Chains A and B, each alone.
Chain A
């Protein structure tokens, strides 16, 4: 699959759980390669979107194509996807190696090949020593790594990770992010998270989802520049702009909305009699964009 061909296309997809609407006419394109981040608050519809991609929930409206097919129809080829839900889905009483072997078996991978792959992926992740340990005896961090190993074990075209670092301490979370970055390779990774620094670190593209709709989508760097504002500090007093006075904040300046180019705004400010001592375009972080769009408070 080329990077240009989308792996999944949502067109007006709606999903309800009884009276609760989880997806409300979701429109989204997930590219064929790279790490795609699905960002949203708790309850935004991220996990439902994942379940829809996997054909695990019934859509009430709209059209969804995953690799050109409807995942809701019977006989859909699930070998093209491998998922790690927020719960790791491992059989706790089995060893890590047996969990991997069983998962490979369900994906139609023979035992010999599964064993070779399991050794390789456990080595890659750095938990080869724990291969014979029962999952229930693993630490939370190692359990998560074992679940990642299971997910990346099979040759799926799309690897889906739902909150892969939730419940991990910062050190373990950083390790898991490194592993994801290494193992992603040429495959598509669909990463659902509300951890924005994680999305900035890992994702080539992101979509912000809220109340079952995609609000914005694009590379994180491009989203960060929206909407444009500039930080302005004047010699003394408030910043005067278009008849309004903006009191200085803690940094001694004010954020002024930049409708045209930053140069146009600077010219306007000078024309209004401001003695500008500092002027810089204010690039909002992904967190800022996220909070603005989803109605959170900074």
Chain B
């Protein structure tokens, strides 16, 4: 798996470049660290937003995992290497998770420093833990959904489009479903999620969200395993014999 992770990291870094990476982080900091929290007018809500950053970072990276390899005509060579299907999947899934979490933490750290400079109210440790855990779940979810899309997409472009639709369903569908199950939750989506986190780990809203996400992640992972194994048995390259 280490070999796959290293390949992913080097490939990403070389495609993006160091300057590109700095620009990428800067954009995320401005959007998620300044503009969005600033418009919310609430530092606690700002930290809840950080839990969502990995979803937006990990997903598109995961979409590239197989669709990109197919498009760049490197998938068949990769599959001919000695990497076992499980390790290939783990490496492909873990890289977006780690990068998504890393991005979230870097942006959160910069925002915290910025808040300290500005003298804004800092969140307590009681919020940081759920935000971190939420970020991990978001990263895993983004990565798994992205990989699902990637396995089936004909190109990275169509994959990104399908991922956007999947993201919309996730971001709107999951909180709305939670609200349906727990009717006392407020109508606003972001507030709903914030409310779930504010209630602590054991609150009905948080439990609903946690259980729902756990079931979704487990289902996604199990179906992905079958899908990735199928890469070796799909008789690829239909046009060429």
Which label, helix, strand, loop or mixed, suits the secondary structure of the A interface? loop
A91→B11 contact, CB < 8 A: yes
Asked, given contacts A44-B241, A45-B241, A102-B7, whether A78 binds B74 with beta carbons under 8 Å apart, the answer is no
Task: Kindly list chain B residues whose C-beta atoms are within 8 Å of the C-beta of A74.
Answer: 85, 229
A93→B14 contact, CB < 8 A: yes
Task: Kindly list chain B residues whose C-beta atoms are within 8 Å of the C-beta of A42.
Answer: 241
Asked, given contacts A57-B235, A106-B3, whether A43 binds B241 with beta carbons under 8 Å apart, the answer is yes
Fill in one digit per residue for B208-228: 1 if any A CB lies within 8 Å of its CB, else 0.
000000000000000000000
Asked if B122 CB lies within 8 Å of chain A CBs, one says no
A134→B235 contact, CB < 8 A: no
Asked if B36 CB lies within 8 Å of chain A CBs, one says no
Fill in one digit per residue for A80-97: 1 if any B CB lies within 8 Å of its CB, else 0.
011101011111111100
Task: Kindly list chain A residues whose C-beta atoms are within 8 Å of the C-beta of B80.
Answer: 54, 56, 78, 81-83, 85
Which of A20, A72, A87, A105 is B6 in contact with, Cβ under 8 Å?
A105
Task: Kindly list chain B residues whose C-beta atoms are within 8 Å of the C-beta of A90.
Answer: 74
**Measured CA separation A140–B124 after assembly (Å):** 58
Which of A78, A79, A89, A134 is B76 in contact with, Cβ under 8 Å?
A89
Fill in one digit per residue for B1-34: 1 if any A CB lies within 8 Å of its CB, else 0.
0111011001100110000000000000000000
Asked, given contacts A45-B241, A108-B82, whether A102 binds B232 with beta carbons under 8 Å apart, the answer is no
**Measured CA separation A57–B6 after assembly (Å):** 27
With CB as the reference atom, state the residue of chain A lying closest to B76.
A85
Task: Kindly list chain A residues whose C-beta atoms are within 8 Å of the C-beta of B77.
Answer: 83, 85, 87-89
With CB as the reference atom, state the residue of chain A lying closest to B74.
A89
A105→B241 contact, CB < 8 A: no
Asked if A58 CB lies within 8 Å of chain B CBs, one says yes
With CB as the reference atom, state the residue of chain B lying closest to A91.
B11
Q: For the complex formed, measure the closest distance between the CB of A41 and the CB atoms of chain B, giving whole angstroms.
A: 10
A79→B72 contact, CB < 8 A: no
A17→B11 contact, CB < 8 A: no
Q: For the complex formed, measure the closest distance between the CB of B150 and the CB atoms of chain A, giving whole angstroms.
A: 17
Number of A-B residue pairs, CB cutoff 8 Å, is 101
Task: Kindly list chain B residues whose C-beta atoms are within 8 Å of the C-beta of A81.
Answer: 80
With CB as the reference atom, state the residue of chain A lying closest to B87.
A106
Asked if A22 CB lies within 8 Å of chain B CBs, one says yes
B76→A107 contact, CB < 8 A: no
Interface centre among A15, A77, A91 (most CB of B within 10 A): A91
Asked, given contacts A47-B237, A85-B77, whether A78 binds B14 with beta carbons under 8 Å apart, the answer is no
Asked, given contacts A93-B11, A102-B7, whether A56 binds B2 with beta carbons under 8 Å apart, the answer is no
With CB as the reference atom, state the residue of chain B lying closest to A78.
B82
Which label, helix, strand, loop or mixed, suits the secondary structure of the B interface? helix
Task: Kindly list chain A residues whose C-beta atoms are within 8 Å of the C-beta of B4.
Answer: 106
Task: Kindly list chain B residues whose C-beta atoms are within 8 Å of the C-beta of A279.
Answer: none
Asked if B233 CB lies within 8 Å of chain A CBs, one says yes
Task: Kindly list chain A residues whose C-beta atoms are within 8 Å of the C-beta of B233.
Answer: 57-58, 72
Asked if B39 CB lies within 8 Å of chain A CBs, one says no
B14→A134 contact, CB < 8 A: yes
Which of B79, B83, B85, B240 is A56 in contact with, Cβ under 8 Å?
B79
Task: Kindly list chain A residues whose C-beta atoms are within 8 Å of the C-beta of B109.
Answer: none
**Measured CA separation A95–B15 after assembly (Å):** 11
**Measured CA separation A95–B11 after assembly (Å):** 10
Which of B11, B82, B240 is A106 in contact with, Cβ under 8 Å?
B82
Asked if B118 CB lies within 8 Å of chain A CBs, one says no
With CB as the reference atom, state the residue of chain B lying closest to A105.
B3
Asked, given contacts A55-B232, A93-B15, whether A103 binds B81 with beta carbons under 8 Å apart, the answer is yes
A79→B241 contact, CB < 8 A: no
Q: For the complex formed, measure the closest distance between the CB of B183 and the CB atoms of chain A, giving whole angstroms.
A: 48
B241→A91 contact, CB < 8 A: no
- Which A9-61 residues have a C-beta within 8 angstroms of B? 15-18, 20, 22, 42-48, 51, 54-58
Q: For the complex formed, measure the closest distance between the CB of B80 and the CB atoms of chain A, giving whole angstroms.
A: 5
Which of A54, A79, A83, A98 is B14 in contact with, Cβ under 8 Å?
A98
Q: Beyond A57-B233, A74-B85, A98-B14: 14 further Cβ-contacts under 8 Å? A: A20-B241, A47-B237, A48-B241, A82-B80, A83-B77, A83-B80, A91-B7, A91-B74, A93-B15, A94-B10, A103-B81, A105-B6, A106-B78, A134-B14
The 7 A-B pairs at the shortest CB distance, nearest first, are namely: A89-B77, A105-B3, A87-B73, A78-B82, A106-B81, A93-B14, A93-B15
6 A-B residue pairs with Cβ-Cβ distance under 8 Å, sorted by A, are: A22-B241, A47-B241, A54-B79, A54-B80, A92-B72, A106-B78
Using CB atoms and an 8 Å cutoff, list the residues of chain B in contact with chain A.
2-4, 6-7, 10-11, 14-15, 72-74, 76-85, 229, 232-233, 235-238, 240-241
